[in-house]
């Protein structure tokens, strides 16, 4: 059951997205799972995954980094016997090479994507609070994922 949950988490949890000057900004990322916890209930399971990610801008606006480190935590609920999650959230703490930080919140969508919003930031990220993105998994390997994200507003 745990392998099904892990595989499903990696398929349907495209991890995160972030901002940058942002109407034409798209990017990709890699995530490596560093922790996984499962709480089994009588009617379903709660899964928590922690990842260490790298976000890479395709065309970063001036003053924004080409890459940055990110730590993410994802929480999902699976009904007993189901391989697809009923829902979940993700929260990512991003810090760029200049020392500016952002906090990104995501909600898993029924189509397997994740709707993301920058909810807090400092420095260059402060002007992007409220920016929205959509993330989607491109490829996965055991314990890791490659994903893309794009702005939606």
The pLDDT of residue 23 is 52
Q: Where are the domains of the chain?
A: 2-151
- Residue 13: is its pLDDT beyond 50? no
The pLDDT of residue 5 is 40
| H, E, C per residue of 10-35 | HHHCCCCCCCCCCCCCCEEEEEEEEE
**pLDDT tens sequence across 47-71:** 999 999 999 988 888 888 999 999 9
3-state secondary structure of 136: strand
DSSP-derived secondary structure for 43-91:
SEEEEEEEEEEEEEESSPPTTS-SEEEEEEEEEEEEETT-SS-SEEEEE
Mean model confidence pLDDT for the chain: 85
- Residue 7: is its pLDDT beyond 50? no
**What's the pTM?**
0.81
Q: Please choose, from the candidates 77, 79, 106, 111, the residue with its C-alpha nearest in 3D space to the C-alpha of residue 91.
A: 106
The pLDDT of residue 74 is 95
3-state secondary structure of 9: helix
CATH class of residue range 2-151: mainly beta
């Amino acid at each position: 059951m745990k392998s099904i949950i892990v595989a499903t988490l990696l398929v349907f949890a495209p991890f995160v997205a972030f901002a940058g000057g942002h109407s034409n900004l798209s990017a990709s990322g890699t995530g490596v799972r560093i922790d996984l916890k499962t709480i089994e209930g009588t009617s379903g399971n709660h899964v928590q995954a922690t990842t260490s990610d790298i976000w890479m801008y395709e065309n970063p606006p001036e003053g924004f980094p080409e890459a940055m480190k990110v730590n993410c935590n994802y929480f999902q609920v699976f009904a007993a016997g189901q391989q697809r999650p009923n829902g979940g959230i993700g929260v990512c703490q991003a810090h760029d090479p200049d020392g500016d930080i952002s906090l990104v919140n995501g909600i898993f969508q029924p189509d397997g994507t994740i709707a993301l919003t920058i909810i807090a930031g400092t420095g260059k990220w402060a002007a992007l609070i409220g920016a929205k993105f959509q993330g989607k998994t491109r490829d996965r390997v055991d314990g890791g994922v490659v994903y893309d994200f794009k702005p939606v507003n």
